[in-house]
Structure 1
């Protein structure tokens, strides 16, 4: 995903807490001067190096659920964003689907639109949009969490789901589902 964005941004800054993954990312990325990968944990609150970048967009995908104090990270995002900058969040949704896989990968929570709005209300980031996505995936995850009590994803289910994604994603662009496996949120830093 990071490599795909390089042609569309002036500068891309990636943050990764695992030093091994930092090295792998650096090896995988094309040789370019418009990106840097930082070995850092956003939840540590060390923002000195990050403030100099004056971010106009922060893309945070499947990270907040791994951090116990998610509000502190949202406040860090607010601190390092330029005025008018946006934060785009993708998080797992629907606490009812929390199960063994979530526990195995270190999730503290799954979100609802209400809990995300509550977390954002503790910052000065203004909500622009929030919606659920992946309606079908929610039902598979719920089945695996509550009926099968699976600790890992099922390859057959993943292949079936992947074959349906093109159709479902077009449908979800027209009609946002009332629930979903993921929640997408966009918030802006105002003056």
Structure 2
């Protein structure tokens, strides 16, 4: 990921509407997984550590992150509470012989060129009955300067994500879009970004407080919808999968 994006993430992920609401949505999803009481959880691609405290409510958390600076920020932010090791997918995954009840990968797979090989490597780290929870950005037609800034390699549909998971030997338990209510706004933002290509992309800074609170409330409200059914469209896709 772009080093500038790590710096921006570190400064905004605690309060930016998208990060904050996504944490609440994914927390609700994890609650529904009924993990064992002393679950071992691995965050694959932990960035600057914004999800680690949320994940720690459900078990013992470890993390892998490619960027050394992001690892350092995470350790400082979380006061050394978690094991955070530097590594790179798919060939340098520094938890040899260890297994996990949940592998959590939030908006990471789109950065990885060798996506199938990465999922194969992570599948081997699942404990018996373990699950993977993965989120990715949706729709290649939403590609914009924001994707370029973040150094994405692709965006996914539910169909293409399913195909990649199956190629990696994973069985898909659940597949849904989310961030559906704000999809029209995202489309407008991407159109604006394309018209202003080369400028600052939408979504990279925290908006004014009132706008931030409003977008947070709209996005967060989907945690109830996702508790009942899958959504047919959205800015992101989530999957729950397990080893075949």
- Same topology, TM > 0.5: yes
Q: Give the TM-score band, short-chain normalised.
A: 0.7 to 0.9
Contact 1:97–1:138 under 8 Å retained in 2: no
Task: Report the 3-state secondary structure (helix = DSSP H, G, I; strand = E; otherwise coil) of the residue aligned with 1:184.
Answer: strand
CA distance in 1, matches of 2:55, 2:223: 20
| Matched residue, 1:176 | 230
Structure 2: gaps (5+ residues): 1-50
Structure 1: gaps (5+ residues): none
Deviates more, 1:145-154 or 1:116-125: 145-154
Do structure 1's residue 113 and structure 2's residue 163 form an aligned pair?
Answer: no
Q: Does 2:100 correspond to 1:46?
A: no
Matching residue of 1:82 = 127
Q: Give the total of aligned pairs.
A: 185
CA deviation after TM superposition for structure 1 residue 134, in Å: 0.8
Q: Which residue of 1 aligns with 2:78?
A: 29
Shift of 1:110: 1.1
Taking the aligned partners of 2:57 and 2:219, their CA distance within structure 1 comes to: 25
Structure 1 length-normalised TM = 0.86
Aligned equivalents of 1:6, 1:167: Cα separation in 2: 23
The reply to whether residue 188 of structure 1 matches residue 239 of structure 2 is: no
| Range with greater deviation from structure 2 (92-101 or 146-155) | 146-155
Contact 1:65 1:107 (C-alpha < 8 Å) held by counterparts? yes
When the two structures are superposed, what TM-score results if normalisation uses the length of structure 2? 0.68
- Give the deviation of 1:168 after TM superposition: 4.1
Q: Does 1:126 align with 2:171?
A: yes
Deviation sequence 1:17-64 (CA, Å, 0-9, x none): 1111111111121454xx300011223x124x4232211210000100
Partner Cα distance (1:24, 1:120) in 2: 31
Quote the RMSD (CA, aligned, Å). 2.1
Pairwise CA distance, 1:121: 1.9
Matched, 1:139 2:184: yes
What residue is the counterpart of 2:215 in the other structure? 161
